[in-house]
Amino acid sequence: MSAALTETDRRFLRLAYDQAKLGYEEGGCPIGSVLAEGDRLIAAGRNRRVQEGDPIAHGEMDCLRRAGRQKSYRRMTLYTSLSPCMMCTGTILQFGIPRVVIGEAQNFAGNPDFLRQHGVEVLVADDADCVALMRRFIAEKPELWAEDIAED
């Protein structure tokens, strides 16, 4: 589902893409994430599985770690360059994040429908830059991509 994004959504999704690009340039998986409350940036992160040797350092997880303790996530939006895996989806639900903006779900379908079924507002932007970066990464490093999504 393609969505009309607000200017704020576009700005934070671009920051998530920038994080993904940094991860790619570091030799990792190019998946970035940003947590915001309205116009206020809370944190940004990227997939650091390769860089830190941490199997759960997905983009969304890294972002949430960098956000530190929050009293509540109930008015926040999580922006992610790629549709979230089940681990990150579970964390979104666990923390009660009510809104997720996804850069793309073409290269990896992720779990937007599962999030929606659990009351999360989900927008998929079909962002051309997010699609192209992920497609390039998968073509260049298929083994690393398979490892990231736990496929043999």
Which active-site residues does the annotation give? 60
State the Cα–Cα distance between residues 123 and 112, nearest whole angstrom: 8
Tokens read off for 10: 């576009």
SS3 of 26-77:
CCCCCCEEEEEECCEEEEEEECCHHHHCCCCCCHHHHHHHHHCCCCCCCCCE
Strands 32-37 and 77-80: antiparallel
Q: Is 84 helix (H, G, I), strand (E, B) or coil?
A: coil
In sequence order, the 6+-apart residues with CB closer than 8 A to the CB of 102 are 80, 82, 83, 84, 110, 112, 122, 123, 124, 125
